[in-house]
């Protein structure tokens, strides 16, 4: 197989895997009410079909990415997507809600295997200076699936029942997994284990210790501590909006902080860290992670509040609400490739800061629409949200992935995916609590059912304050983007290409040349 064909197949597999995961999440939301009725489940049980998945996937992403670094991203991708397909089929045949929850946890584990691999495969296949457009196409596909998911899910549930939404992804996932197993990586593009691109201080092995390569060991204690920290954090963020600060949520937050501290200590002292602190603490990587966290939190918190506003204040049905939000998905689809071009021309700092400014402006446009809000104003706010968030996903993701050497690409992809999973939960938790605390009571003092608000007037009043806080959170991410580099610099441009570079169009694994906008 030629290197060009392998690149195209890798890009197709990366996009397919990302789309199937995104599509699964959006169609499940539409199917949950029908699932609850058909299986005679409680509301809490149905919510655990999402919570169980989120806990499983978020706690394992970084470790799964490291497994891909060691055993091959393509192999982990195939294992993950095949397992994802089998779990989806099992959910579609599940006789009760307990089976659905258990299989959703299994699906989360498989999702954790395949998601970092979708980025790791791209980093291992494309040269650094050509990563922007593949990542942009992947982002566009995710935006398209986010727009199509509710429509497809609604049609399937209405005509075939909730089980059909889980069978939807089975055949594409199986076909993609089999293809990934069948395709052989060209020998010239198989990376050799090397030191990370961002240097990590060398560690002196203890007396009698055997020196091994970086890829030879897995930091199992570090993986366990990180998983525990993320598990406690995710559980706290998911339960906090409904229960508030109780003994359980406070204990979860404290446990998450303690486990995180223990994890950092472990990474500082182990000879083979799961996440080298030199990489995690590098200004471009740290800034990009903060940007992703703040942008996704602000984005999804705003979406939650805006959805309730459209349906409960303006009285629109779900389909009408979806049409109002359509510019958001459209701008993610159309704007992502443009973002890759802008980043290449103007650098990560300028592009990301401009994108965060668009995101902040979009939130501000939606923050005071009033009950007489016009459709152009609402659509304009969503358009700005999509343009800003889609660009941020492209630029920040490219920064993180480019900073990693090929043998750490899975770990970098796991960090990016973790930020993209934690951020939305943080935004939803913040938005829900602010709406609950700031909405004044009704005449009867009781909130209306179905949402974090009371009367339409009370909701509109609290909405402005909540979205201003979310806009401030996005502005914090914009300030973090200042740590990114100004423009592209090719530090290795003066050197003649190596044989491998000339033959395959990609730098050898672990090449020291870097671009400043990484």
Residue 340 maps to a domain: yes
CA-CA distances (angstroms) from residue 286 to 100, 156, 237, 300, 482? 37, 42, 22, 21, 11
* Same-domain status, 474 and 351: yes
CA-CA distance, 427 to 425, in Å (whole number)? 5
326 and 455 Cβ atoms separated by less than 8 Å: no
Amino acid 274: pLDDT = 86
Average pLDDT over residues 487-501: 39
Dump pLDDT digits (tens) for 69-109: 888 888 899 999 999 999 999 999 999 999 999 999 999 99
Q: Smallest Cα–Cα separation from 116: which of 43, 174, 55, 64?
A: 64
Where do we find the tokens 């990609």? 506
* Same-domain status, 326 and 434: yes
Average pLDDT over residues 256-279: 88
CA-CA distances (angstroms) from residue 116 to 63, 68, 130, 409, 418? 9, 8, 19, 8, 9
Q: What is the residue-wise DSSP string for 291-319? A: HHHHHHHHHHHHHHHHHHIIIIIS---HH
Look at residue 466 and tell me whether its pLDDT is greater than 70. yes
* 118: Cβ contacts below 8 Å, ≥ 6 apart: 13, 14, 15, 17, 18, 77, 138, 413
* DSSP-assigned letter for residue 449: T
* Same-domain status, 67 and 175: yes
* Opening angle at CA 121, ends 3 and 342, nearest 5: 90
* Same-domain status, 474 and 356: yes
Residue 237 maps to a domain: no
Average pLDDT over residues 451-456: 57
Dump pLDDT digits (tens) for 278-307: 888 888 889 999 999 999 999 988 988 888
Among 175-179, 290-294, 435-439, 468-472, the least confident range: 435-439
Residue 250 maps to a domain: no
* Same-domain status, 294 and 430: yes
Residue 497 maps to a domain: no
Q: In the structure, what pLDDT confidence band is assigned to residue 510 with cuts at 50, 70 and 90?
A: very low
CA-CA distance, 489 to 185, in Å (whole number)? 30
Q: What is the CA radius of gyration of the chain?
A: 23
Residue 190 maps to a domain: no
Per DSSP, the three-state class of 490 is strand
* Same-domain status, 319 and 459: yes
Residue where a domain terminates, one of 162, 183, 204: 183
Per DSSP, the three-state class of 217 is coil
* Same-domain status, 312 and 175: no
Dump pLDDT digits (tens) for 197-217: 444 444 444 333 333 444 447
* Same-domain status, 328 and 460: yes
* Same-domain status, 285 and 428: yes
Residue 450 maps to a domain: no
State residue 515 phi and psi, 5-degree precision. -105, 145
* Same-domain status, 177 and 282: no
Report the number of secondary-structure helices (H) and strands (E) in the chain.
17, 0
Dump pLDDT digits (tens) for 214-239: 444 778 888 889 889 988 988 888 88
CA-CA distance, 218 to 69, in Å (whole number)? 10
* DSSP-assigned letter for residue 246: -
Residue 506 maps to a domain: no
Domain assignment of residue 378, given as a range = 276-440+455-484
How many structural domains are present in the chain? 2
392 and 295 Cβ atoms separated by less than 8 Å: yes
Look at residue 196 and tell me whether its pLDDT is greater than 90. no
Amino acid 34: pLDDT = 84
* 506: Cβ contacts below 8 Å, ≥ 6 apart: 3, 125, 126, 127, 130, 189, 500
Tokens of 380: 């304009």
Tokens of 210: 């055997």
* Same-domain status, 318 and 464: yes
CATH number of the CATH domain containing 138: 1.20.1250.20
Amino acid 482: pLDDT = 82
Amino acid 192: pLDDT = 43
Residue where a domain terminates, one of 164, 183, 202: 183
* Same-domain status, 44 and 150: yes
Q: What is the residue-wise DSSP string for 455-469? A: SHHHHHHHHHHHHHH
Handedness of CA 213, 216, 221, 223 (dihedral sign): positive
Give 486 or 291, the one with higher predicted confidence: 291
415 and 280 Cβ atoms separated by less than 8 Å: yes
Q: What is the residue-wise DSSP string for 397-414? A: HHHHHHHS-GGGHHHHHH
Residue 409 maps to a domain: yes
CA-CA distance, 227 to 236, in Å (whole number)? 14
């Amino acid at each position: 197989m030629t290197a060009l064909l392998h690149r195209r197949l890798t890009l197709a597999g990366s996009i397919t895997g990302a789309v199937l995961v995104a599509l699964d999440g959006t169609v499940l939301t539409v199917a949950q009410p029908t699932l609850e009725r058909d299986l005679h489940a409680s509301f809490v049980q149905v919510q655990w079909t999402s919570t169980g998945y989120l806990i499983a996937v978020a706690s394992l992403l970084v470790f799964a990415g490291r497994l891909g670094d060691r055993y091959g991203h393509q192999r982990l991708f195939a294992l993950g997507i095949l397992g994802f397909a089998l779990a989806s089929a099992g959910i579609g045949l599940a006789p009760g809600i307990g089976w659905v929850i258990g299989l959703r946890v299994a699906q989360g584990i498989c999702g954790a295997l395949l998601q970092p691999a979708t980025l790791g495969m791209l980093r291992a296949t494309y040269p650094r200076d050509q990563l922007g457009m593949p990542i942009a196409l992947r982002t566009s596909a995710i935006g398209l699936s986010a727009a199509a998911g509710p429509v497809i899910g609604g049609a399937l549930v209405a005509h075939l029942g909730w089980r059909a939404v889980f069978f939807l992804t089975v055949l594409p996932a199986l076909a993609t997994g089999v293809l990934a197993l069948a395709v052989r990586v060209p020998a010239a593009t198989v990376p050799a284990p090397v030191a990370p691109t961002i240097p990590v201080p060398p560690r002196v092995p203890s007396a009698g210790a055997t020196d091994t390569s970086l890829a030879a060991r897995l930091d199992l204690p570090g993986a366990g501590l990180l998983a525990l920290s993320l598990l406690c954090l995710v559980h706290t963020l998911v339960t906090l909006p409904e229960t508030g600060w109780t003994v359980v949520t406070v204990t979860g937050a404290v446990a998450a902080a303690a486990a995180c501290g223990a994890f950092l200590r472990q990474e500082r002292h182990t000879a083979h860290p799961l996440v080298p602190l030199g990489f995690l603490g590098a200004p471009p990587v740290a800034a990009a992670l903060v940007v992703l966290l703040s942008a996704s939190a602000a984005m999804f918190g705003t979406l939650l509040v805006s959805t309730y506003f459209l349906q409960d204040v303006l009285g629109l049905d779900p389909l009408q609400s979806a049409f109002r939000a359509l510019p958001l998905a459209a701008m993610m689809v159309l704007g992502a490739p443009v973002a890759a071009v802008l980043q290449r021309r103007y650098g990560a700092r300028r592009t990301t800061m401009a994108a965060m400014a668009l995101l902040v402006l979009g939130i501000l446009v939606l923050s005071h629409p009033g009950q007489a809000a016009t459709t152009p104003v609402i659509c304009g706010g969503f358009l700005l949200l999509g343009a800003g968030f889609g660009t941020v996903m492209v630029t920040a993701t490219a920064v993180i992935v480019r900073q990693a050497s090929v043998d750490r690409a899975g770990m970098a992809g796991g960090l990016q995916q973790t930020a993209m999973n934690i951020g939305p939960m943080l935004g939803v938790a913040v938005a829900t609590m602010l709406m609950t605390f700031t909405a004044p009571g009704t005449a009867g003092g009781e909130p209306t059912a179905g949402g974090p608000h009371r009367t339409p007037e009370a909701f509109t009043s609290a909405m402005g304050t909540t979205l201003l806080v979310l806009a401030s959170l996005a502005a914090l991410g914009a300030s973090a983007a200042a740590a990114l580099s100004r423009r592209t610099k090719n530090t290795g441009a003066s050197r003649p290409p190596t044989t491998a570079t000339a033959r395959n169009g990609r730098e050898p694994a672990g090449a020291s040349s870097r671009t400043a906008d990484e």
